[in-house]
Amino acid sequence: EAHIDRLQKMEEDLNAFITISKEEALNAADIIDEKIKKGEKLGPLAGIPIGVKDNIITKDIKTTCGSKMLENFIPPYESTVVEKIKKADGIILGKTNMDEFAMGSSTETSYFGITKNPIDTQRVPGGSSGGSAAAVRAKEVAIALGSDTGGSIRQPASFCGVVGLKPTYGLVSRYGLVSLANSLDQIGTLGRNVTDVALLLNAIVGYDEKDSTSVNMDIIDYIEGLSEDVKGMRIGVPKEYLNLNMDERVKEQILNSIEIFKNMGAVVEEISLPHIEYALATYYIISTAEISSNMARFDGIRYGYRAKDYETLDELYINSRSEAFGEEVKRRIMFGTYSLSKDNNEKIYKKAAKVRTIIKEDFDKIFEDYDIILSPTSPSLPFRIGERIEEPLAMYKSDIFTVPINLTGICAISIPCGYVEGLPVGLQIIGDKFEELKVLRLARAFE
């Protein structure tokens, strides 16, 4: 109760939550009390306050995706990750704010208002999981779930000075995650330190027959072995990244971090990812193609918003979608429809799919010789509210370092590596597929 009272007070300023599920949280706490009284064994997340991004389905609790389209949508079933959190005795305090349908890098496109960065409330918390990152930073919750299609966990983690992990595609079940771009989406974890992020990861991983892309493999304990030595680890720094146009102050912090890894006994060398310059364009073609297809289900009939005025069926579709989707959602539907159309399919979409494979081969080659790749998480410091919202391309550029990880399905974490004039800089530690433990270990050693 005390925790929720505090959360509610902080919310007056931050708006990190769309829904606070007080009653459900207190019920969950009562169940734990009962277990303690009976002397039953408690789960690994017992009593820990957790936030869940509002594109992850919660049974009987509103799940809006930050959109007017789903303003009143109460799901009749549970996502696999939430089911697992409940089984581990975690306490979900509510649903966190996000860019509409997870399209964005600033949490400014939410129908439910902007979330502010707790470090400087004039600035954005990043996005699209900005609510989760802000809630963790402001201690409204201890840990949170986010989703990451092109950087939506790592970039807000960077902007709010917290830790955020995008696991390997297939490690965590996507059952109950409202799809943005199915071949890129992944649920991941945010926390104030690496151990907290690993603790939540432990609770949500594992094969799920309800997600055909979830991988059936032995479960690894991400806490055990976390503190092992990183001496001799081989780290590559892509030269293409350091030559890129970015905030010099960010670059300086990254170069300082590289020195710290060298002092720990890691071997750091310059590497090359020759096709990385095409990653951002490739991402926005592939993701919008998948988005335009996914958004078709919001037709005003099966669920979600339905327009009041219409005469024909076509008008029902058109009016419902026109009234309930925001600008950015519409832009992406049009962009995706364009690149999938008969004349452009071969020229744009299929070409992007081929480039995606070439980028993946670049990474595969590096991981034959290196354990880890380092980069900044974001090319800039947290920007001001309103600064980029009118300029979609400037917003898309926020994702330049994060999208290659989703295109290739590998894993990466963002950790705070320094501050510039009070604003945090995030370092991205990238590992090959299913090398989360390696990534977490290096991140832990840095802390």
Binding mask 222-261 for ligand GLN (x = CB under 6 A): ----------------------------------------
Inter-axis angle of helices 80-87 and 194-204, nearest 10: 110
Phi and psi angles of residue 149, each rounded to the nearest 5 degrees, phi first: -105, -30
Nearer to ligand GLN, 129 or 320 (CB): 129
Stretch that binds ligand GLN, among 29-37, 68-76, 97-105, 345-353 (CB under 6 A): 97-105
Q: What is the smallest separation between the CB atom of 104 and ligand GLN, expressed in angstroms?
A: 5
Q: Please tell me whether residue 287 binds ligand GLN under the rule CB under 6 A.
A: yes
Q: What is the smallest separation between the CB atom of 75 and ligand GLN, expressed in angstroms?
A: 19
Q: What is the smallest separation between the CB atom of 369 and ligand GLN, expressed in angstroms?
A: 29
Nearest residue to the partner ligand GLN, using Cβ: 152
Please, how many CA atoms are within 13 Å of residue 265, restricted to the half-sphere of its CB? Answer: 6
Of the candidates 96, 105, 202, 380, which one interacts with ligand GLN according to CB under 6 A? 105
Binding mask 298-327 for ligand GLN (x = CB under 6 A): ------------------------------
Site for ligand GLN in 139-198 (CB under 6 A): 147-152, 180
Q: Please tell me whether residue 399 binds ligand GLN under the rule CB under 6 A.
A: yes
Residues 6+ apart with CB under 8 A from 97: 15, 16, 17, 18, 54, 66, 107, 110, 112, 113, 115, 130, 131, 134
Quick count: other Cβ atoms within 10 Å of Cβ 135?
A: 35
Nearer to ligand GLN, 108 or 208 (CB): 108
- Is-contact 289 333, C-beta < 8 A? no
Q: What is the smallest separation between the CB atom of 105 and ligand GLN, expressed in angstroms?
A: 4
Quick count: other Cβ atoms within 10 Å of Cβ 173?
A: 24
Stretch that binds ligand GLN, among 6-14, 101-109, 217-225, 249-257 (CB under 6 A): 101-109
User: Catalytic residue among 21, 53, 257, 398, which?
Assistant: 53
Of the candidates 52, 102, 198, 333, which one interacts with ligand GLN according to CB under 6 A? 102
Strand arrangement, sheet containing 163-166: 17-20, 91-96, 49-53, 143-147, 187-191, 163-166, 411-420, 423-431, 372-376, 234-238, 267-271
Determine the distance from the C-alpha atom of residue 426 to the mean position of all C-alpha atoms in its chain, rounded to a whole number. Answer: 14
Residues 6+ apart with CB under 8 A from 180: 55, 101, 102, 103, 147, 149, 287, 290, 291, 294
Stretch that binds ligand GLN, among 8-16, 56-64, 102-110, 300-308 (CB under 6 A): 102-110
Q: What is the smallest separation between the CB atom of 133 and ligand GLN, expressed in angstroms?
A: 12
Q: Given the structure tokens 């955020």, which residue do they identify?
A: 164
Of the candidates 66, 75, 90, 104, which one interacts with ligand GLN according to CB under 6 A? 104
Strands 163-166 and 234-238 come out as unpaired
Strands 187-191 and 143-147 come out as antiparallel
Nearer to ligand GLN, 14 or 407 (CB): 407
Of the candidates 45, 61, 103, 235, which one interacts with ligand GLN according to CB under 6 A? 103
Residues 6+ apart with CB under 8 A from 443: 163, 194, 413, 415, 429
Nearer to ligand GLN, 151 or 424 (CB): 151
- Is-contact 85 50, C-beta < 8 A? yes
Residue 299, CA distances (Å) to 28, 75, 229, 338 in order: 35, 17, 54, 19
User: Catalytic residue among 110, 129, 132, 152, which?
Assistant: 152
Of the candidates 97, 128, 168, 414, which one interacts with ligand GLN according to CB under 6 A? 128
Nearer to ligand GLN, 287 or 414 (CB): 287
Nearer to ligand GLN, 166 or 441 (CB): 166
Nearer to ligand GLN, 104 or 418 (CB): 104
Candidates 229, 231, 230, 268; CA nearest to 375 is 268
User: Catalytic residue among 106, 110, 128, 214, which?
Assistant: 128
Inter-axis angle of helices 194-204 and 436-446, nearest 10: 160
Q: What is the smallest separation between the CB atom of 287 and ligand GLN, expressed in angstroms?
A: 6
152 annotated active-site: yes
Q: Please tell me whether residue 63 binds ligand GLN under the rule CB under 6 A.
A: no
Catalytic amino acids? 53, 128, 152
Task: List contacts with ligand GLN (CB under 6 A).
Answer: 102-105, 128, 147-152, 180, 287, 399
